[in-house]
Amino acid sequence: MAYVVLALGSNVGNRREFLVRAVSELDDIARVVAKSKIYETAPWGYSQQRYFLNAAIGIETACGPLELLDYCKDVERRMGRVKTIENGPREIDLDIIFYGGESYSDEDLCIPHKRWRERDFVVTPLLDLLDAGFFDSGFFSEQKKLLKTMSRLYPPFSAF
Protein backbone atom coordinates (compact mmCIF):
# COMPACT_ATOMS: atom_id res chain seq x y z
CA MET A 1 0.00 0.00 0.00
CA ALA A 2 1.16 3.51 -0.79
CA TYR A 3 0.34 6.76 0.95
CA VAL A 4 -0.48 9.46 -1.58
CA VAL A 5 -1.44 13.13 -1.51
CA LEU A 6 -3.92 14.41 -4.09
CA ALA A 7 -4.83 18.05 -4.70
CA LEU A 8 -8.38 18.79 -5.86
CA GLY A 9 -9.80 21.88 -7.49
CA SER A 10 -13.05 23.02 -9.11
CA ASN A 11 -14.34 26.32 -10.48
CA VAL A 12 -17.36 25.31 -12.59
CA GLY A 13 -20.91 24.66 -11.44
CA ASN A 14 -21.42 23.48 -7.86
CA ARG A 15 -17.74 23.51 -6.94
CA ARG A 16 -18.16 22.00 -3.47
CA GLU A 17 -20.30 19.16 -4.84
CA PHE A 18 -17.67 18.38 -7.47
CA LEU A 19 -15.00 18.10 -4.76
CA VAL A 20 -17.17 15.86 -2.59
CA ARG A 21 -18.09 13.66 -5.55
CA ALA A 22 -14.46 13.32 -6.67
CA VAL A 23 -13.44 12.09 -3.22
CA SER A 24 -16.27 9.55 -3.20
CA GLU A 25 -15.27 8.39 -6.71
CA LEU A 26 -11.90 7.36 -5.28
CA ASP A 27 -13.50 4.89 -2.84
CA ASP A 28 -13.06 2.01 -5.30
CA ILE A 29 -9.27 2.30 -5.30
CA ALA A 30 -8.30 4.14 -2.13
CA ARG A 31 -9.01 4.73 1.52
CA VAL A 32 -9.14 8.40 2.49
CA VAL A 33 -6.94 8.89 5.54
CA ALA A 34 -6.98 12.70 5.88
CA LYS A 35 -8.81 15.67 4.35
CA SER A 36 -7.95 19.36 4.35
CA LYS A 37 -10.40 22.18 4.69
CA ILE A 38 -11.80 23.58 1.46
CA TYR A 39 -10.37 26.95 0.38
CA GLU A 40 -11.59 29.50 -2.16
CA THR A 41 -8.64 30.75 -4.19
CA ALA A 42 -7.88 32.95 -7.17
CA PRO A 43 -7.25 31.20 -10.48
CA TRP A 44 -3.64 30.54 -11.44
CA GLY A 45 -2.22 30.92 -14.93
CA TYR A 46 -5.43 32.10 -16.61
CA SER A 47 -7.13 34.82 -14.57
CA GLN A 48 -10.32 35.40 -16.60
CA GLN A 49 -12.34 32.74 -14.80
CA ARG A 50 -14.24 32.06 -11.60
CA TYR A 51 -12.41 31.50 -8.30
CA PHE A 52 -11.60 27.89 -7.42
CA LEU A 53 -12.42 25.74 -4.45
CA ASN A 54 -9.31 23.75 -3.55
CA ALA A 55 -8.56 20.96 -1.09
CA ALA A 56 -6.13 18.10 -0.53
CA ILE A 57 -6.61 14.55 0.64
CA GLY A 58 -4.25 11.90 1.93
CA ILE A 59 -5.10 8.42 0.71
CA GLU A 60 -3.85 4.87 1.02
CA THR A 61 -3.96 2.85 -2.21
CA ALA A 62 -2.66 -0.32 -3.81
CA CYS A 63 -2.49 1.43 -7.20
CA GLY A 64 0.86 2.28 -8.71
CA PRO A 65 1.50 5.88 -9.81
CA LEU A 66 0.44 5.44 -13.44
CA GLU A 67 -2.61 3.36 -12.57
CA LEU A 68 -3.65 6.06 -10.09
CA LEU A 69 -3.09 8.79 -12.69
CA ASP A 70 -5.26 6.90 -15.19
CA TYR A 71 -7.99 6.49 -12.58
CA CYS A 72 -7.89 10.20 -11.66
CA LYS A 73 -8.11 11.21 -15.33
CA ASP A 74 -11.05 8.82 -15.76
CA VAL A 75 -12.82 10.43 -12.77
CA GLU A 76 -12.24 13.87 -14.32
CA ARG A 77 -13.75 12.70 -17.64
CA ARG A 78 -16.76 11.06 -15.96
CA MET A 79 -17.42 14.29 -14.09
CA GLY A 80 -17.46 16.27 -17.33
CA ARG A 81 -14.00 17.76 -17.59
CA VAL A 82 -12.94 18.71 -21.10
CA LYS A 83 -9.60 20.49 -21.48
CA THR A 84 -10.03 23.54 -23.70
CA ILE A 85 -7.67 26.18 -22.24
CA GLU A 86 -4.43 25.49 -20.35
CA ASN A 87 -5.14 26.25 -16.66
CA GLY A 88 -8.70 27.10 -17.68
CA PRO A 89 -12.07 26.41 -16.06
CA ARG A 90 -12.80 22.86 -14.96
CA GLU A 91 -15.43 20.86 -13.15
CA ILE A 92 -12.72 18.93 -11.33
CA ASP A 93 -8.95 18.68 -11.32
CA LEU A 94 -7.16 15.86 -9.52
CA ASP A 95 -3.37 16.09 -9.23
CA ILE A 96 -0.99 13.62 -7.63
CA ILE A 97 1.29 15.76 -5.46
CA PHE A 98 3.21 13.09 -3.55
CA TYR A 99 3.32 9.31 -3.88
CA GLY A 100 4.94 8.10 -0.68
CA GLY A 101 8.50 9.32 -0.66
CA GLU A 102 8.98 8.31 -4.29
CA SER A 103 10.13 10.36 -7.24
CA TYR A 104 8.84 9.56 -10.69
CA SER A 105 9.03 11.35 -14.00
CA ASP A 106 7.85 10.66 -17.53
CA GLU A 107 5.93 12.61 -20.17
CA ASP A 108 2.58 12.11 -18.38
CA LEU A 109 3.45 12.30 -14.69
CA CYS A 110 5.98 13.99 -12.43
CA ILE A 111 6.10 13.09 -8.72
CA PRO A 112 6.46 15.14 -6.64
CA HIS A 113 4.27 17.50 -8.68
CA LYS A 114 6.75 19.91 -10.26
CA ARG A 115 4.98 23.15 -9.29
CA TRP A 116 3.42 22.32 -5.92
CA ARG A 117 5.71 24.71 -4.00
CA GLU A 118 4.69 27.66 -6.21
CA ARG A 119 0.98 27.32 -5.58
CA ASP A 120 -0.56 28.65 -2.38
CA PHE A 121 -3.76 26.79 -3.25
CA VAL A 122 -1.81 23.52 -2.98
CA VAL A 123 0.47 24.37 -0.06
CA THR A 124 -2.26 25.66 2.27
CA PRO A 125 -4.36 22.45 2.10
CA LEU A 126 -1.15 20.42 2.52
CA LEU A 127 -0.52 22.28 5.76
CA ASP A 128 -3.91 21.01 6.99
CA LEU A 129 -2.76 17.45 6.24
CA LEU A 130 0.48 18.19 8.11
CA ASP A 131 -1.53 19.38 11.13
CA ALA A 132 -3.68 16.22 10.90
CA GLY A 133 -0.55 14.06 11.19
CA PHE A 134 -0.73 12.58 7.69
CA PHE A 135 2.93 13.33 7.00
CA ASP A 136 4.09 11.60 10.20
CA SER A 137 4.82 8.32 8.40
CA GLY A 138 8.44 7.81 7.44
CA PHE A 139 7.48 7.98 3.76
CA PHE A 140 7.13 11.75 3.90
CA SER A 141 10.08 12.85 6.05
CA GLU A 142 11.48 15.29 3.48
CA GLN A 143 8.07 16.72 2.61
CA LYS A 144 7.24 17.12 6.30
CA LYS A 145 10.43 19.12 6.95
CA LEU A 146 9.76 21.37 3.97
CA LEU A 147 6.10 21.92 4.88
CA LYS A 148 7.03 22.80 8.47
CA THR A 149 9.36 25.48 7.11
CA MET A 150 6.74 26.71 4.65
CA SER A 151 4.05 26.90 7.34
CA ARG A 152 5.86 29.91 8.80
CA LEU A 153 5.94 31.67 5.42
CA TYR A 154 2.39 31.18 4.18
CA PRO A 155 -0.37 33.42 5.47
CA PRO A 156 -3.50 31.34 5.97
CA PHE A 157 -6.38 31.49 3.50
CA SER A 158 -9.87 31.65 4.84
CA ALA A 159 -11.60 28.29 4.63
CA PHE A 160 -14.73 28.30 2.47
| Catalytic residue (choose from 95, 117, 131, 136) | 95
| Catalytic residue (choose from 93, 106, 115, 120) | 93
| Catalytic residue (choose from 81, 108, 115, 131) | 81
| Catalytic residue (choose from 15, 16, 27, 90) | 90
Please give the sequence-ordered ranges of beta strands (E in DSSP) within 11-144, or none if there are none. 30-35, 39-41, 52-61, 93-99, 104-105, 110-111
Among this protein's residues, is 93 annotated catalytic?
A: yes
Among this protein's residues, is 95 annotated catalytic?
A: yes
Among this protein's residues, is 106 annotated catalytic?
A: no
Contact 13, 49 (CB under 8 A): no
Among this protein's residues, is 120 annotated catalytic?
A: no
Question: For residues 123-148, b (16+ Cβ closer than 10 Å) or e, as one string?
Answer: bbbbbbbbeeebbeeebbeebbebbe
Distance, CA of 114 to CA of 66 (rounded, Å):
16
Residues classed as catalytic: 81, 90, 93, 95
